[in-house]
Structure 1
């Protein structure tokens, strides 16, 4: 083990983040700095460039730009509003009805779009004013919107599950998709429980009564949007197409749906494509630099060092899983989800599979639920920033009402971690 290389890696990464260098560049530069102390300059540059380029040569990664484009089409195509109206029909009359609507709409939109940020923006911009009009406090509205926006990352189709499949060496994407349903729904129900208790104590009003005919119309209006989940996941399970092919089908379906809803015009397509390209560029750069850093960490034997360190502290599987979760919670506070998955999967996956006997599918869901908490936690919580920006709220005003939601998410994480059958039930049901 090269101690100097590890020191350079950690200190350079922390330094670049501290001075405000974007995460993707911080990862790439720290990987390069580490290689420079282990190689000559020319091999370091060429090796890192080669690792970044070859790391992106994966057919599965083609699904990411397609799902990003599908998310952009949904965000502009009026789907969010129809899902909100559908959620009102389903849960709007419960105590604290609009809080429940916010959670359910985020679960549906996040699952369909595969983006927590898009979900927080689309649902927050619509639900925020409605909740304020009904007497809900702004900080509570932002808190429940931000935390529930992350639930869609576990419920398929999900870009981050595709990234985990890549980082884990080829775990079945279809199996990961199946495994995400129950944990994602459990998280949403836990957030609803917290929101319902809070709304009851604050005596927030019930949602408005929706006449039967209007309710039926809202339900029927939402069916085409909800059918995307059936088409994509059903097609993958039935073997009609792969996850990558499903992402392309999702784009075509969303485009047709947006034109049917008359929410998108032909003139809007160039702007949607530009946004997609920008987002894809950022995500792919994160993936490329993270893959480069993962190789450097492997070269410096960091995964083996961490494994030996954890096993030397305890041989109890409960304690080891708890320590891994605590490390990931800490990592999620300071690092975006995509690089965290790519960097820490090769470190922890060998430990939990060989030493603890965990299924790689189960561990993938544990990672996603864990890092979801970091997305709505300062200082690097991207979904938190988006939610606060949409509501024009300061982050410090939102943290206190978010604490009960954090606790709910952590409780679900612990349940999923220590009861594998909850996660693996659906994959086993479909033969994975």
Structure 2
């Protein structure tokens, strides 16, 4: 058994960056991603040949690099991105997982999916159009999802004669808006994804710009994975009881560590029951270890025979979150059907799913001026708003600001399993105004 109790070096640094692209339709997101893949030599010869063939069949002389990510037939036929396209590539300095998200308003929900695990978001703006409503929407989503780094890529600079004044005006407007949302770090880069200016190589057409290229920034942006400051959380996915002659009393709790680290001998609390015990063993890949950390999948064994099942949460007793049946959060509504006050839903938090009722929708965010529209009554597709939800059973939610994993949840339609909204517990914009309102209880078994 390993005897080390020191924080492993792997927790403090990493060579992996997860990032997402976003922007309005036709801003050139897929072309930018294709240019990154092509110019960083991350495209296989047969992939490039297929893109060249598809481009020629569409009457294009040069290869359309957007086809490297637009993989669905409908996307190629319409010339737009519909689904989130995930790509993996690497340079000598860092490995990357990127999510190319759609630009159409009706696919904003896909951007929520793509950016939910991202450490950086690249928001593209067409230099001819400047900051538009969808740009503001994506900035708001990035802020809500606590994406720590945002890159403003002002694209198609070749179509505005590479003028510095155009870039400066757009960068100032976006930076002011994003700063009001609370985005901690904003880097503006003028580019032409089609021509390759400032994507991988510095542009000879914009000698007035002295900052990094997109790839250089992606390779050097600091990404902290030091989990010593994270709240250790372990959602139970499965209870293992083999009941074999070799291990007649084996009882283990399997799952993926959501955050932080767990150690043998540590005192833990089981939530929502509140019962306590001590970790006697941790099994990782079939081998006993003294310490395990996120995002490892492990089996934890305890000293006491406690009633634990899927959906329970293990946390260090000294750092256990409070449980509550009242959830107040900001949500991004992603379904075509509206979310209304009094609506019955399911709330999924980590591995736990419980019945719930939407008790109140205090406000909806107006993206133009970041004001709050009070008591909208409902949220429709792509709306961002505050909700108050009452659950049938207590939940151990962290604040989303403390943990993107255990501070997030989904609202689900119990009738057909449709995802209605993605929620961030406790999140709100600095500009939000408190809106008070009374709610009435249901009388049909969903009154919690």
Report TM bin, short chain: under 0.3
Q: Which has the higher helix share?
A: 1
Q: Which has the higher strand share?
A: 2
Per the normalisation by structure 1, the TM-score is 0.22
Higher Rg of the two aligned structures: 2
Comparing both chains, which one has the higher relative contact order based on Cα–Cα distances under 8 Å and sequence gaps of 6 or more?
1
Per the normalisation by structure 2, the TM-score is 0.21
